[in-house]
Amino acid sequence: MRTVIFATGLFSLLLVVCACSEPPGSLKGGKRAPTAKIEALPVNQIIVKYKSSANLASAAAAGDSAHMKRLSDAAGVPLVYLRSMSGEAHVLRLPRSMEINRVLEICARIAAMSDVEYAEPDYVMHATDN
């Protein structure tokens, strides 16, 4: 019973905090609060989902060294298999953090491959206190 009361109390506290917080880009003191531009954030990972006909849904198949070499060749940079995600997508690591325009070019080259459904940057978002 105490756990339920504590959890309910904590949940209520979170609701109050969230209700009092201003959303990003909202007016603060008559001025718009600054928001981070996604385009300005460097990215070091991409998300790839393969077509079901490719039989690459499993981490073992998607992370296979021959397959990763083929992806790296298409991307023009060495890629490392990191992990699988829900929805049968996979996270690949770039050799370093790169500007978003460069990452979008890499994603476009990978997405053009016949067995790829989509490739997109894996943006890292950070909470800020404006």
What does the alpha-carbon distance between residue 47 and residue 93 come to, in Å, rounded to a whole number?
9
Which residue matches tokens 């990452």?
103
For residue 103, give the 3-state DSSP assignment.
helix
pLDDT in tens, 20-71: 444 444 444 444 444 455 556 789 999 999 998 888 888 888 889 999 999 9
For residue 56, give the 3-state DSSP assignment.
coil
More confident residue, 38 or 15: 38
State mean pLDDT over 112-123.
Answer: 94
**CATH class of the domain whose range is 38-121:** alpha beta
Q: What is the DSSP letter of 125?
A: P
Residue 60 and residue 66 in contact, taking contact as beta carbons nearer than 8 Å: no
pLDDT at residue number 96: 95
124 pLDDT band, cuts 50/70/90, is confident
pLDDT in tens, 94-110: 999 999 999 999 999 99
Task: Report the predicted TM-score, pTM, of the whole model to 2 decimal places.
Answer: 0.66
Q: What is the DSSP letter of 69?
A: H
